[in-house]
Amino acid sequence: MILAIAGGKGGVGKTTVAYNLAAALDALAVDADLGMADLPTGRGPDLHDALAGRAAPTECVREGPVTLVPCGRSLSGARASDLGRLRDVLETLERERGTLVVDCPAGLRTDVGVPLALADACLLVVSPQPFALANAVRTRELARELGTGLAGAACNRVVDPPPTEPMASALGGPVTVVPADPRLGRSVRTETPITDSAPGSTAAARIRELARAVDSCR
What is the residue-level pLDDT of the chain in tens, covering all 218 positions? 999 999 877 778 999 999 999 999 999 999 999 888 889 888 899 999 999 999 999 999 999 999 999 998 888 888 899 999 999 999 999 999 999 999 998 866 666 788 999 999 999 998 877 777 888 888 899 999 999 999 999 999 988 887 788 888 888 889 999 999 999 999 999 999 999 999 999 999 999 999 999 988 87
- Can you tell me the distance from the alpha carbon of 13 to that of 96, in angstroms, rounded to the nearest whole number? 28
Strands, sheet with 2-6, edge to edge from the N-terminal-most edge strand: 68-69, 28-31, 100-103, 2-6, 121-126, 149-158, 175-179
The residues, any chain, with a CB within 8 Å of residue 187's CB and separated by 6 or more, are: 16, 19, 20, 193, 194, 197
Q: Where are the alpha helices (DSSP H) in 1-157?
A: 14-25, 47-51, 75-80, 86-97, 110-118, 130-146
End-to-end CA distance of the chain: 7
Tell me which CATH code domain 2-216 carries. 3.40.50.300
**Which residue(s) pair with 153 in the sheet?**
124, 175
Please tell me whether the overall predicted TM-score, pTM, comes out greater than 0.85 for this model.
yes
